[in-house]
Amino acid sequence: MDKESIFLTFTALGLIALAGFDNYGLYIAIGVFWIIAAFNKYLGLLALWSIIIFMIGFALMRLISIYAGNEFTKIDLSLLVAELTLVSAGCWLIKNRE
């Protein structure tokens, strides 16, 4: 497995694990797509872009929530850092794609 496949697989498993607790079918479907893309180079670029867009959306929602005056906790900060890290990793993988 290359770096891209590992990134897609672990990101998908994390999303599926989180979605499983809340029963979000769409998140599970997206996670399954990312796992399929990890083994299909044709879908890999699309999956990387979807991760970037997905995580930017989460980060923006979190920043808007903070700006709106909702309580800001260490968990929010750690999730924001994780989301931005995944965006950076996805951009890096796209830039260095073979």
Q: How many Cα atoms within 13 Å fall on the side-chain side of residue 53?
A: 7
Instruction: Provide the pLDDT for residue 71.
Output: 79
Sorting pLDDT into bands at 50, 70 and 90, what band is 50?
very high
For residue range 56-94, what is the model confidence (pLDDT) as tens digits?
998 999 889 888 877 778 888 888 999 999 999 999 999
For the residues 29-36, what does the mean pLDDT come to?
Answer: 91
Residue 55 has pLDDT above 90, yes or no: yes
